[in-house]
Amino acid sequence: MQGKHLTQKERFYIEKRRGEGVNQATIARELALPRSTISRELRRNTDPTFNGVYCCRRADTLARERRHKPLPNNAFYPLEPHLQNEAAWRLQIEVWQNSDILKPASRRLSRVTFP
């Protein structure tokens, strides 16, 4: 496995070997992958509309869709791209304005307190 995602060849191999009735542990050993990777692949990318049969093409499509789907906890997700950029820019300015750089020296905290 080159990167952190399964390739189409690996998915095809999983489909072929599952069709032959080979268990997940054997497939993982043959592909030199952790068993959990095969298990997770089959669990996440087996489409119920295919009657529970793993299909490498459908699995690849599902994985790609999930990879490019924005996370729901991203506050900028519902915004248009130009508004996302504006919000991010304003947040950077706010952080910069509230930083210690702009505060007077007398208000900065010191490690040592003199009587």
Q: How many CB atoms lie within 10 A of CB 58?
A: 17
Helix, strand, coil proportions of the chain in percent (round to 5)?
60, 0, 40
Residue 50 is part of which domain span?
Answer: 8-68
Q: How far apart are CA 40 and CA 27, in angstroms?
A: 13
Residues 52 and 94 in one domain: no
Between CA 58 and CA 6 the distance in angstroms is: 13
The verdict on 77 and 64 lying in the same domain is no
pLDDT for 87 equals 75
User: What confidence tens digit (pLDDT) does each residue in 35-94 have?
Assistant: 999 999 999 888 888 888 999 999 988 888 887 766 666 655 566 677 777 877 777 766
Which helix (H) or strand (E) is 56 found in, with range? helix 56-68
Classify residue 51: in a domain, yes or no.
yes
Residues 27 and 59 placed together within one structural domain of the fold: yes
Query: Which has more pLDDT, 100 or 25?
Result: 25
Instruction: Indicate the pTM of the whole model.
Output: 0.57
Q: 89 and 47, same structural domain?
A: no
Domain count, the chain: 2
Same domain (yes/no): 23, 61: yes
Q: Which amino acid is at 56?
A: C
